[in-house]
Amino acid sequence: MAAVAAEAEQKLPGMMAAFDPARPGVHATESVDFVVVLSGEGRLRIGDGEDVALRPGDCVVQHGAPHAWFNDGTEPFVFCYTLCGVERNTPVEP
């Protein structure tokens, strides 16, 4: 697992360090994220409280927002995503 983390840090600097232990699951990335839900049901929590329900066919585009993913169904929550690395314009609130 350490080798995977090292490779991820090399290819996506800062990605592995973006998880805040004070808020499990909540993380932010130096990227614009393009997400399409393929199957299952879940939700995206943005910041510390806004939850968005997601179902197959739903799309999400976000830029550096603190967020977390949750599976609310009985089946796997499957999504496809592309991250495009960018510099953050403003700091993320802890």
The full set of domain ranges for the chain reads 2-85
pLDDT in tens, 66-79: 888 888 888 888 98
80 within 8 A of 34, measured Cβ to Cβ: no
Look at 27 and 54; give whichever has higher pLDDT: 54
8 Å CB contact between 37 and 44: no
Band of pLDDT at residue 28, cut at 50, 70 and 90: confident
- pTM for the whole structure: 0.67
**In which residue are the tokens 């808020």 written?**
23
Contact 35/79 with Cβ under 8 angstroms?
yes
**CATH of the domain spanning 2-85, picked from 1.20.120.530, 3.40.50.300, 3.30.70.980, 2.60.120.10:** 2.60.120.10
Residue range 38-67, pLDDT digits in tens: 999 999 998 877 899 999 999 999 888 888
